[in-house]
Structures are given as structure tokens and as C-alpha cells.
Structure 1
Amino acid sequence: MGDRTVQPDLTDSQWQRLLAYGVPSDAAEGEVLFRAGDAWADLILVETGLTEVVRDALPWMPETQIATIGPRGFLGEVGLLNGQRPFLTGRVVAPGRIRRIDRPALQRLMAEDDELCDLLLHTLWARREFLRAGPAALSLKIVASSSASAGLALRRYAERLDLVYTWVEADDPGNAELLATHGYRRDDMPVAIIQGEPLSNATPGEVSAALGLAYTNDDETPADLAVVGGGPAGLAAAIYGASEGLRTVLLDSIAPGGQSAATSRIENYLGFPFGVSGDTLTDQASLQALKFGVRVFAPCEAAALEWAADPLALALADGTRVHARAVIVTTGAQYRRLPIDRWDEFEQGGIYHAATPLEIRQVAGDPVVVIGGANSAGQAALALAANGCSVRLVVRGDGLSAAMSSYLVDRITEDPRIRIHTGTRVTGLHGDSSLERVTLSGTTSEAVECRGLFCFIGAEPATDWIRQLDRDDHGFLRTGTDIVRLDPAWGSMRRAPLPFETSLPRVFAAGDVRRGSMKRVAAAVGEGSSAVASVHLALSDLPG
């Protein structure tokens, strides 16, 4: 680990300032500083002596040294910002003196010293990327078929959270002997092997719990702000809340990013003249949230909201309760599905609601169909065509210009790899174990080859879990002066609902879930950050 991006040279001034945040102690030879699977790990500064980081021995492989770190170095990677359990072990090789910086001290450092904050953030992130490409990635192995929805969901979860892992493709004939040796059957998949221990039929929730990313509240102190939903609005709300001094938690039922993470390219987002992919934007926003001390938990599905004078309570699907003085709902919307025979069957492999590199790899070079007439469909069509796919863009309306940005319309109409079918619907799905053809009806009526159906036909607001809030006929949350039905809880209040506040006091909504929102990434970011201003006003009304 000699690369200076992962092992930076600190100036005397930087090192002395860093030491000031740590608690000193002597370290004996062989002492374990942190162990893979520990509940929490500190940032460890090495004043004297020598330390090493190793991947523990696995049943089929001996212990492997990842790095040695000596004086003026430090042990840690980006997972310690969010409380992820270490997946490596650190120990002392030669005795010396160390300093431990625990999470509260690390958060003070990040807030008080911009130079050290930037240096640490760059280094911790670079180390995560370094570890993803080496033997440390064997600490988490996922054995699954990329054509199966459960395997794809687990891989998407790992990618969205930037976990260090190794993917073993069950459909690769070259892995057949390996699977047989370990006794992994198709019925067991996906299998997650965590520190050598296999977990059959693994779900993102089970992997999250094993890695320490499930919700916990160690000191039982209510959060100042709980943000439910990790799309652009939720990430913006969490970042602004935490950066302005609110103890903030972010909960998402899948992983941070929302629908924007499924967008292959956003061309008109402020500050990115060459465009930016949704997953890149999500990665950077997630890291920014961790920088400001947001605790990010996923998958954590909110199942109910219970109002109280202070604090509020969120009940998660697993029965866990999250207490917070204010809540911002940014759950966005759930993908619409077509009422076509065998839709459920092919959603297990062949139907996609995203066109990120993860999905595109499954169909690269094959014929595909994209359904939808808005920007997300247009971006997907261009991305698929750029990866060698023959693309049919199926639009129910008479043209593309009604809901798609003109720059996308121009690029699509000029691309010879994309055929546009307006006034057309997909009415049939065909294939044996995987999707092979779809039936088009309307202006174009024929069965066409299709190895991947990418569906971008909008979404329904994800508000069924909060039916007590005032919603419009389509399920979108009313806020501010738009509210028709106030909850009786307002009877004891001395104010009217604030901007972005719902029909329940101190419960706010932002982004696609809110009635009247613009349904654009930039607008969602603006709403999420603006809602925090109202949170501050609402909390100032509370006693204490």
C-alpha cells in the first residue's frame, strides 16, 4: 500500500493536529487493535512501532497481509465513518505507541479542520477502492446468477453501498467445479460468504445486519432528524441537516440513490458540463453525507409513523423503532409495472427498471426494448446503444417531445442503433427460462427479439405506509398551504404548517413524494435542502 493516495505523507503540522484528537496508549507486539467483525473501530494513529492489516484466514485460504503501517501513518478506511464492522484485522508487529480517535472525536475533526477532513476523506475513500481490487474482497463473496433477480438485487445493494466484495457468477461454466466442491445448489442462491461463513438465500437485509449496517441506536438518544428515503431529496436533506448541527439518520429500504441511481447519464445537472451518471452522483453524495456525520442505514424499510409530542417514532419493517424529533419523508415513488402475463416471472430475469452498468452488462450486444417517453427512457436507450445493443424505443404517445428534453430527442433520432416506435405498446412476453421476444401492438404490430426489457413508465408515490397524512387522489403528500385536512395534533400548536411540512407537525416531505414537486433530480435536491430550514423552525418551537 505504497501509493500516496492510500498512504499519504503528512506534514509536521498536519500530524501534530491529527495527534491532538487521539487518546494515547502503548501497543505491545501481537496486540490486536481491531478485529474483523468488531462492533466498531477507531481511527488508529501510529506514533512509533509497526502495525499490519490482514485479511483473516478463510477455510480455503490462509491469512493474507494487506498492508503494513508505520510511524506517522494511520489505520482505517471509509467504513468507519458509518459504523460498518471492520472486515479486516489490525494488529501490532513491533511495539510502540498509538493514538485512538473514536467516532465523536473523528466527527469533531471533520467539522473543525477542513484540511485534515479533506485529506482523511480522500485517503479513506482511496483505500476502499484499493481494497475492492485486492484479496480483501474475498472477505465477502456473493455466489449467484446475474440473470436472477435475487442475485442482481444483492449485487446492486453491494454496489450502491460500495462494499468490498467478490462476485462469483453461477452461470459461468468455469465456476461449475467450484460450486460443486462447496455444495452450492441453485436453490441456495444467492449465497453470501461473510468471513468464510456461508449464508444461503441471502438478502440485502441479512448481509446488512452481518456487516453492522442495520439500524442501531447505541445510546438510545433520539435523532434530531430522521430522513426516510435515500434519493436525491433524502441525501440533500441529510447532508444539510447534519452540516447544520442536527444529529441525522438516513434510512432507505434498498440503498442510497433512489431512482436517480438507475439513471445512466444526467446531462443537464448543474456543475457537470460533460454529464454525470446517477450512480456516480449517488456515490459522491453518500460520501458527503458520511463526511458530515450522517448515519446511513440500508436496507431499512419504514413501515409506520407514530406521532408524539416529542420525539416521533418510526417503526421499521423488522419491528425496530427509530425515534427522532423531526422526520422528512423522501421515499419517492415505486416503479410502475405493466399488466402483462408472465411479467412477474420475467422480473426474475429479463425485465429491468434501471440501466446502470450493472444491468447493461447483462444484455451488452443483444437486442433490447426500452419502454417510456421521458428522460430516463431516453438516457437508457442511448446508454444501451453505446454498449452494442440494438434498441427499440417504444412510446405509447405520438412522439418524444411531450415529456423528453430536446437534447435527448435530437440524440436519439440521430442514432442509427435506436428504432423509435410511437403509438405502440408492449403486450406480450415470450421465452422459456429467460426473456427472448416481446409482442408490440399499435402503430407497430409484431413480435421482436428482446433479451432485456427496460421499463421506464413512471412510478407511484411510496406513501402507503403513512396513510394518516393528507394525500391527494394519486397518493402524493400535501404540504404547507396545499394541505386540505390538518391532523388534530395541530390543535395544540401556535403556528400553521411550514413550507414542506405535512398534515402532522414536524413531519415534512420533499422530492417526488410531494404533491406539486417537479420530478427532476435538481429540483429534488433543492427541496430536500430547503425542507431542513423548516425543520430548524419547527424544532425551535419545542421546549428545551
Structure 2
Amino acid sequence: MSDARTDIYATRAAQIFPRLSDDDIARLCRFGEPRSYRAGEYIVRTGETGPGLMLIMSGQVEVTRSEGGERKQIVVHERGNFMGELAQLSGRPYLVDEQALTDVEAVAIAPDRLRALLIAEADLGERMMRALILRRVGLIEAGAGPIIVGDEANADVLRLVNFLRRNGHPYQQLNPGEDSCAQTLVERFNVSEDELPIVLCPSGQLLRNPTESQLGRCVGLVGPVDGNKLYDVVVIGAGPAGLATSVYAASEGLSVLAVDCRSFGGQAGASARIENYLGFPTGISGMALMGRAFSQAQKFGVEVLIPDEAVKLECGNDPCHLQLATGERARARAVVIATGARYRRLGVAGLEEFEGTSVHYWASPLEADLCADQDVALVGGGNSAGQATVFLASRARRVTLIARRPLEETMSQYLIERISAQPNIDVVIGCEISALEGANGVLDSVAWRDRGSGSVTERPVRYLFSFIGAEPNTDWLEASGLKLDARKFVLTGEDVADNRLPLETSRSGVFAVGDVRACSVKRVAAAVGDGAQVVASIHAYLAKQREQEAQEAPIRVTVPA
């Protein structure tokens, strides 16, 4: 084995690179087409969209990745091995190079046929799906993918790194002040300080402080929309409710397009640890739970547009039209709004100066690394705040939790007990943040005011985390005609009219699920339940539409000659 292997390659090699039997090979060949390659020929290069998953029939293929300008071997595939990882489920670009060492005979299995294989061949598909997922984990550990050049404390570096991490995409991050290769890139492309960070994509394209959308398109996370295709359902939002809708709808044969402006997982994806979700007695991180759901969606053939933002919804008698920020449009028979909520911001002067560098709205391992041995504060009293507090306390020197109300009124008991058991957590009740002090995006101290007495306390704090709740993400729906409640959550079902289907909005064929729905329970399990339930309503709506179309179809009468 090469020294480029990470721990997961060393410990789980048999699962990551299984050798299939002749019987397995025969079953797989039904789904692909034969291909031949000569010795020395590249089957695919990093950044290219290849022919799909490749089953090796004979010969040897070397798989390598780039590291510091050098090629590092990952594995050599032989007969019975297959090449590919999660990107091949959706036809996205390869993250590695694959070169024939000898003459090679292979079978190429295109993404749509690969998804059919995973479903039709349950036992074999399970082994293959596990391998595809573990290979992606290995690439993430190894740091394959785009190279982000910039100081790790830079707000835009944090923004881009979080974007890729939340989308489960490998990357490398290099600091030009510490890494000679990074400094060489900066000098070679004449990059000024205000153009940092730069991103070198696997295709070779260089981006200067890109948006998430630009980066997503450069690494192949999202492609163009087929405006002529009519989907059964478009799901707007890829949090727990949106992913559940996508998985259940696609698994039942509906064509599904899922759209999200940032990443899959929503706010749940930012949870350090979820311990009250049914079936996970030891807990699971929000990213791991949502990552599994996203892989399920890809397995069942859900088409995904991330990042791509929905800006306008038009629904009438004809199919609904969803307009995207790119100017593209998607057409669907039914639409599910699962846009969730956006983080509520603190009403404190100077907040913008510290956002992204010292003030954060989620607590991922990236933020935890920044907080190592630092004094931090966290404001909020819900379960998300409790989970983040416990998580950060494992790395930070001291965490001060600031809440308006007693935790017993807003937080699960198991989290309260865990917080009280941590010696480096201080809990402040009945207070709110009143001032932030610092300069150049670096926070020096935080002040909070007692809501009863008015007294102010100031403490040195390097990082502040805000978990003060969220507001419905419905501003973009203002022109759609959907009925909202006084707080701008979407009204559904009997709250709209007696003849409405469960979870259907005031517009026929448009549904709302999860946190964006009025009167919904703001829990991951409740959002997933909405996603499962709404599929039954979609089937009922589509059946009614087909019946109506049949009744309106002209009757053809054949007249004898």
C-alpha cells in the first residue's frame, strides 16, 4: 500500500476496494457497456466527467490523486474491482486520475444504470454503495479536490471551507504565509491581498474569492437545468424535510428535482450531535445523518441543484415554473416548499464587522478547531444551543452560555444535565447581548445586560456563537400568492381551506413541509415525518390531475368508410 493512504484506507480496505466474484461480475455486466483501453491511456482525469462506474474485466488500472504537485497512488484495480465513488451516482466530475497500466477490458456503467443496479441487486448494491461512500470519506481525509489558498482565519476562507464541508466535498486549504506551494500560486497568478482567497479547481480553473455558486459550478457540484423536462415534483430546500420528501418520492417512482441555495442538511446539518433522534441511541452528528439522507436521494435518482437559489414560483393551470437566480427555469407538476428558516441575527451594533470571523451561526469541527483553548460565548436556549455548547466545551477553554429564559423552559433535560456536568461551562440566565468590542473582525470582548436589573457584564471573549432561533425563509414567495400567517410561515391544509390535501398550501399542487410550515414542530424527526407524509398527498394530487386530463381529452370517433 502507498504511503498516501489515509487511516480509513488502511483499516477498511476490504470494504473500500472489494473484489467481486465471477457471479457478481456477470450480474453487473447486464447494466453496462464494454470498453477497451490501451496501456498508458487515461480512462479519466481529475475534473473530467467520465463514463461512470467502471468494472475491470482484465488488466490493471492505477488510481492516483494530486498532493503538493505530485501524484500519490491510492490503489491499483484489477479484475473484479470497480472504479468510482459517490460522484458517479450523479455523473459529476472525477476527483482522481485513472490510468491503464496494461491493456484493459472494462464495463462502463452510466449513472442512471448504476442507480438501477443499486436498487435491483440489493445485496450487491449494498456492498457497492458502502464502498462508494467510504471512498468519498477517504478522499475527504486525504484532502483531494479544489485547493483553497488563504489564511484559515479569513472570513471568506471559512465561508468556502464550510460550503464544501457541508456538501461533503473534499478540499485542501493552504495558508500562503506558512506553505511555500501556496505562496508560489499567489505569486504565479499575481494575486493581490483583496483577491484572496483563491481556489484552484480540479479542472485547472482559478477563481479569485468566488461565491459559493461559482465554486459549486467550478467543482461540478451543479450543472445546467433542462428547461424542457417536466418533473413530477420539484423540492425547494434540502434540509431534513426536503431530503425526506426527495427520498420517499423518488423511491416511489416520481421524477424529482431538489434545489438548495447553499448545502444539503439545513440547520440540522450544523448540529454537532443529535441524541434524541429515533434509532440512534448513541447519537449522530447532523452532518452524518444528513449525509446519509443525501446519498439515499442520489441512489434513488433525485436530480440535485446545490447551490442554486429559487427566486420566484409561478403556478397556474399549467405546470408550475420555478425561476432560479441563474435565470434558468424548472418545470414541475407539483412543488414542495421546504426552505426552512434562516438564522436570526443579534440586534447589536457593529455585528457585521465580526460575522464570519468571530461571530458564527453554527458550530462545526472547523469552528471548534478555531476555538481551541479560547474563551467563547454562546447565546440561545434551545436544543441547538445546548448541543453546540457541549460540543464547543470539549475544545474551548471556557464557554459562557447566555439565555433569556431558564433552560428548563426551552431545552431538553438530557442537554441541561450534560451542561451542568461540564466544569468549563458557565450558564447566565435572564440576559441578552448588548455590545461587541474588537477591531478588524477580531472580537476582544462581549457585554451582556441583565433584562431585570439592567446591569451590564463584560468578559473577554474571542468567539461568539448565536443560536437565538430562526425566521421563515419565505420572502421570495411574496409574488406567489401563497397564504402566510402573521409570522410569515406558510399555511397549509385545513388552515387554508376544507378541501385542501394534508400539507397543501393555498395554491393547488404546491405543498409546504418542515420548519417553513405554520404550526410545525421544529424538530428533525417532525421534518422527516412531514417529508414522508407529503408524498402521499402528492400522489393524490397527481392522480386527480390525470383523471381531470382524461375527462378533458377530446373523444375520437371512428366513422366507417
In 2: Cα distance, 1:48 partner to 1:272 partner: 43
In 2: Cα distance, 1:247 partner to 1:220 partner: 14
Normalised by the length of structure 1, the TM-score is 0.92
Question: Is residue 146 of structure 1 aligned with residue 132 of structure 2?
Answer: no
Quick one: which amino acid aligns to residue 198 of structure 2?
V
Name the residue aligned to 1:449: 460
Name the residue aligned to 2:291: 283
In 2: Cα distance, 1:419 partner to 1:96 partner: 63
What is the 5 A alignment of 1:493-532? Answer: 496-532=499-535
Name the residue aligned to 2:483: 470
SS at match of 1:408: helix
What does the per-residue CA deviation read over 1:340-378, in whole Å, with 9 as the maximum and x for residues that have no partner?
Answer: 111011113111111121211111221111111111111
SS at match of 2:14: coil
Task: State whether residues 147 and 350 of structure 1, in contact with CA within 8 Å, keep that contact through their aligned partners in structure 2.
Answer: no
Task: State whether residues 147 and 348 of structure 1, in contact with CA within 8 Å, keep that contact through their aligned partners in structure 2.
Answer: no
Going from structure 1 to structure 2, the CA distance change for 1:51 and 1:148 (only over 3 Å counts) comes to same
Quick one: which amino acid aligns to residue 475 of structure 1?
K
Task: State whether residues 41 and 86 of structure 1, in contact with CA within 8 Å, keep that contact through their aligned partners in structure 2.
Answer: no
Going from structure 1 to structure 2, the CA distance change for 1:424 and 1:96 (only over 3 Å counts) comes to closer
The Cα shift of 1:186 comes to 2.9
SS at match of 2:249: helix
What is the 5 A alignment of 1:117-516? Answer: 117-134=125-142, 137-169=143-175, 172=178, 177-178=183-184, 181-182=187-188, 183-195=190-202, 196-217=204-225, 220-397=228-405, 399-433=406-440, 434-442=442-450, 445-467=456-478, 468-483=481-496, 496-516=499-519
The Cα shift of 1:393 comes to 1.0
In 2: Cα distance, 1:180 partner to 1:27 partner: 38
Equivalent residues, number: 529
Task: State whether residues 501 and 509 of structure 1, in contact with CA within 8 Å, keep that contact through their aligned partners in structure 2.
Answer: yes
Going from structure 1 to structure 2, the CA distance change for 1:219 and 1:319 (only over 3 Å counts) comes to closer
The correspondence for 1:542, drawn from 533, 545, 548, is: 545
SS at match of 1:94: coil
In 2: Cα distance, 1:171 partner to 1:426 partner: 35
The correspondence for 2:87, drawn from 79, 83, 97, is: 79
Gaps of 5+ in 2: 2-8, 550-561
In 2: Cα distance, 1:470 partner to 1:403 partner: 29
In 1: Cα distance, 2:344 partner to 2:35 partner: 57
The Cα shift of 1:435 comes to 0.7
Going from structure 1 to structure 2, the CA distance change for 1:447 and 1:178 (only over 3 Å counts) comes to farther
Task: State whether residues 225 and 329 of structure 2, in contact with CA within 8 Å, keep that contact through their aligned partners in structure 1.
Answer: no
Task: State whether residues 315 and 322 of structure 1, in contact with CA within 8 Å, keep that contact through their aligned partners in structure 2.
Answer: yes
Comparing 260-269 with 89-98, greater Cα deviation is found at: 89-98
Task: State whether residues 83 and 212 of structure 1, in contact with CA within 8 Å, keep that contact through their aligned partners in structure 2.
Answer: no
What does the per-residue CA deviation read over 1:34-55, in whole Å, with 9 as the maximum and x for residues that have no partner?
Answer: 3333345311111122223344
In 2: Cα distance, 1:380 partner to 1:519 partner: 17
Going from structure 1 to structure 2, the CA distance change for 1:267 and 1:65 (only over 3 Å counts) comes to closer
In 2: Cα distance, 1:146 partner to 1:81 partner: 32
Comparing 269-278 with 18-27, greater Cα deviation is found at: 18-27
Task: State whether residues 359 and 464 of structure 2, in contact with CA within 8 Å, keep that contact through their aligned partners in structure 1.
Answer: yes
In 1: Cα distance, 2:369 partner to 2:51 partner: 36
Question: Is residue 103 of structure 1 aligned with residue 111 of structure 2?
Answer: yes
SS at match of 1:541: helix
Quick one: which amino acid aligns to residue 21 of structure 2?
T
Task: State whether residues 253 and 300 of structure 1, in contact with CA within 8 Å, keep that contact through their aligned partners in structure 2.
Answer: yes
The Cα shift of 1:414 comes to 3.2
Task: State whether residues 146 and 219 of structure 2, in contact with CA within 8 Å, keep that contact through their aligned partners in structure 1.
Answer: no
The Cα shift of 1:198 comes to 2.1
The Cα shift of 1:180 comes to 5.6
Going from structure 1 to structure 2, the CA distance change for 1:170 and 1:373 (only over 3 Å counts) comes to farther
Task: State whether residues 469 and 503 of structure 1, in contact with CA within 8 Å, keep that contact through their aligned partners in structure 2.
Answer: yes
Task: State whether residues 63 and 74 of structure 2, in contact with CA within 8 Å, keep that contact through their aligned partners in structure 1.
Answer: yes
In 1: Cα distance, 2:523 partner to 2:427 partner: 24
Going from structure 1 to structure 2, the CA distance change for 1:306 and 1:176 (only over 3 Å counts) comes to closer
SS at match of 2:427: strand
The Cα shift of 1:133 comes to 3.5
The correspondence for 2:77, drawn from 49, 69, 72, is: 69
Task: State whether residues 265 and 287 of structure 2, in contact with CA within 8 Å, keep that contact through their aligned partners in structure 1.
Answer: yes
Going from structure 1 to structure 2, the CA distance change for 1:92 and 1:40 (only over 3 Å counts) comes to closer
Going from structure 1 to structure 2, the CA distance change for 1:10 and 1:146 (only over 3 Å counts) comes to same
What does the per-residue CA deviation read over 1:453-501, in whole Å, with 9 as the maximum and x for residues that have no partner?
Answer: 11111111001111221000100000011116xxxxxxxxxx9321011
Comparing 21-30 with 179-188, greater Cα deviation is found at: 179-188
In 1: Cα distance, 2:438 partner to 2:107 partner: 61
Task: State whether residues 176 and 183 of structure 2, in contact with CA within 8 Å, keep that contact through their aligned partners in structure 1.
Answer: no
The Cα shift of 1:129 comes to 2.1
The Cα shift of 1:387 comes to 1.5
Going from structure 1 to structure 2, the CA distance change for 1:338 and 1:245 (only over 3 Å counts) comes to same
In 1: Cα distance, 2:50 partner to 2:233 partner: 23
Normalised by the length of structure 2, the TM-score is 0.89
Quick one: which amino acid aligns to residue 51 of structure 2?
A
In 2: Cα distance, 1:92 partner to 1:265 partner: 43
SS at match of 1:340: coil
What does the per-residue CA deviation read over 1:52-91, in whole Å, with 9 as the maximum and x for residues that have no partner?
Answer: 33447x9x73555443222122111111112321233333
What does the per-residue CA deviation read over 1:157-205, in whole Å, with 9 as the maximum and x for residues that have no partner?
Answer: 1112221211113565888855664444431122111134321112221
In 1: Cα distance, 2:62 partner to 2:150 partner: 33
In 2: Cα distance, 1:145 partner to 1:531 partner: 45
Going from structure 1 to structure 2, the CA distance change for 1:171 and 1:94 (only over 3 Å counts) comes to closer
Quick one: which amino acid aligns to residue 81 of structure 2?
G
Comparing 166-175 with 496-505, greater Cα deviation is found at: 166-175
Task: State whether residues 138 and 166 of structure 1, in contact with CA within 8 Å, keep that contact through their aligned partners in structure 2.
Answer: yes
Going from structure 1 to structure 2, the CA distance change for 1:509 and 1:91 (only over 3 Å counts) comes to same
Task: State whether residues 177 and 183 of structure 2, in contact with CA within 8 Å, keep that contact through their aligned partners in structure 1.
Answer: no
Comparing 211-220 with 261-270, greater Cα deviation is found at: 211-220
In 2: Cα distance, 1:175 partner to 1:344 partner: 33
The Cα shift of 1:542 comes to 2.1
SS at match of 1:146: coil
In 1: Cα distance, 2:21 partner to 2:262 partner: 41
Task: State whether residues 61 and 104 of structure 2, in contact with CA within 8 Å, keep that contact through their aligned partners in structure 1.
Answer: no
Quick one: which amino acid aligns to residue 124 of structure 1?
L
Going from structure 1 to structure 2, the CA distance change for 1:526 and 1:264 (only over 3 Å counts) comes to same
Quick one: which amino acid aligns to residue 454 of structure 1?
F
In 1: Cα distance, 2:93 partner to 2:227 partner: 18
SS at match of 1:436: strand
What is the 5 A alignment of 1:8-47? Answer: 8-47=18-57
Going from structure 1 to structure 2, the CA distance change for 1:440 and 1:108 (only over 3 Å counts) comes to same
Task: State whether residues 279 and 356 of structure 1, in contact with CA within 8 Å, keep that contact through their aligned partners in structure 2.
Answer: no
Going from structure 1 to structure 2, the CA distance change for 1:292 and 1:520 (only over 3 Å counts) comes to same
Q: Give percent identity, aligned residues only.
A: 37
